[in-house]
């Protein structure tokens, strides 16, 4: 396995909750896909789950080497899991173009106040 990128991100859960309290529709529609919103809204501790997905998207963009400042968009990255299996990343659009056929590995972890994610991209 040849590693082509590694990304890590740490998010404070109260920061994500504050974003939702201030701009609920904007955050849901800009950052998260409808499937992610449906999943997070259906569980207890939804802000912790949103924070994990936020961290995973940031970590993916870092591992890809593009960041999230206009090269790829938040909605092009979807974090998929059911809290009982390991999470995966589904990409589309420019994110898929940049990723190509490379494989993505994702790990998300949570504490009451923080969520973190690590992404490894291999050739």
3-122 fold: Ribosomal Protein L22; Chain A (3.90.470)
Q: Which of 14, 46, 62, 105 is catalytic?
A: 62
CA-to-CA dists, residue 81 to 15, 32, 63, angstroms: 23, 14, 20
Return per-residue pLDDT of the chain as tens, 123 residues: 799 999 999 999 999 999 999 999 999 999 999 999 999 999 999 999 999 999 999 999 999 999 888 889 999 999 998 667 789 999 999 999 999 999 999 999 999 999 999 999 999
Active site residue 57: no
Binding site as annotated, residues for Mg(2+): 9, 58
CB atoms within 10 A of CB 43: 11
């Amino acid at each position: 396995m040849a590693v082509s990128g590694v990304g890590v991100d740490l998010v404070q859960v109260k920061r994500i909750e504050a974003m939702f309290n201030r701009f609920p529709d904007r955050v849901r529609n800009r950052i998260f896909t409808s499937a992610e919103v449906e999943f997070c809204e259906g569980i207890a501790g939804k802000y912790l789950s949103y924070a994990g997905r936020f961290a995973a998207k940031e970590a993916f963009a870092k591992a890809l080497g593009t960041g999230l400042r206009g090269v790829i968009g938040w909605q092009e990255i979807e974090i998929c899991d059911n809290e009982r299996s390991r999470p995966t990343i589904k990409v589309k659009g420019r994110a898929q173009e940049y990723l190509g056929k490379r494989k993505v590995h994702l790990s998300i972890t949570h504490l009451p106040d923080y969520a973190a994610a690590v992404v490894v991209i291999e050739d």
